Structure 1
Amino acid sequence: MEHLAWMAWTWQTGAFFALVAGLLALLTTLAVNRPEIARPGILGITTTRGDRLFITLLGSAFIHLAWLGLVGPELEIASGLALLYAAAVFRWV
């Protein structure tokens, strides 16, 4: 990762982007093999898997930013909350 040193990347940042890329590849594979049906959730809007992934990533970013601002840099609990949030979004939204 020497050629990316100007970006101040850490292994955690690289792992996050690899995870997002993996999720996008998984969603693409699922869409090809098992075409999705958009479904309405508790928000009253019709969402697909990709929509729910976007809502999850956006909400998780807000959870982590709020945690950093209100509590501090220990993000383990915030990550746990974000995983619970992701499960709820994919189940009910």
Structure 2
Amino acid sequence: MIDLSWMAWTWPTAIFFIVIFAMLAGMGAWEYLSPGGSPRTGILRFETTRGDRLFVSLLGSAFICLGWLWASELSLWYALIVCAAFVLLVFRTV
């Protein structure tokens, strides 16, 4: 078992960063196997690639979670549902 007490991390925090790393590694592997990712112009009217859309979705999800913490007493698990919907929306339309 990994001891995370040296940095006062919790398991949810560690899982969060592991998931971010896994997403970046997965996108890197996808780009290696299928270079280019067919850039496209979406509703923001500028050309984006898969990596751009991942960056926008991660940044937007961070702001959603911060806003959730500021505006709500509900669990962040509900914000995760909103973030998942946001990621799908970004990858579909941006």
Match of 1:42, SS state, is: coil
Aligned residue type for 2:12: Q
Structure 1 residue 65: Cα displacement: 0.7
2:43 corresponding residue in structure 1: 42
Identity of aligned residues (%): 45
TM-superposed CA distance for 1:77, in Å, is 1.5
Alignment of 1:15-54 (within 5 A): 15-35=15-35, 36-54=37-55
TM-score using structure 1 length: 0.90
Instruction: Tell me the CA shift for residue 34 of structure 1.
Output: 1.0
Q: Which runs of 5+ in 1 are unaligned?
A: none
After superposition, residues 4-83 of structure 1 pair within 5 angstroms as: 4-35=4-35, 36-72=37-73, 74-83=75-84
- For 2:8 and 2:61, how far apart are their aligned partners in 1? 22
How many residue pairs end up in the alignment? 92
Following the alignment from structure 1 to structure 2, what is the Cα–Cα distance between the partners of residues 72 and 64? 12
Q: Which runs of 4+ in 1 moved over 4 A?
A: none
Q: Give, in angstroms, the shift of residue 74 of structure 1.
A: 1.1
Task: Single out whichever of 80-89 and 7-16 deviates more from structure 2.
Answer: 7-16
Relative to the length of structure 2, the TM-score reads 0.89
Unaligned ranges ≥5, structure 2: none
CA RMSD of aligned residues (A): 1.3
Deviation at 1:15, TM superposition (A): 0.8
Looking at structure 2, the residues matched to 45 and 8 of structure 1 have their Cα atoms a distance apart, in angstroms, of: 41
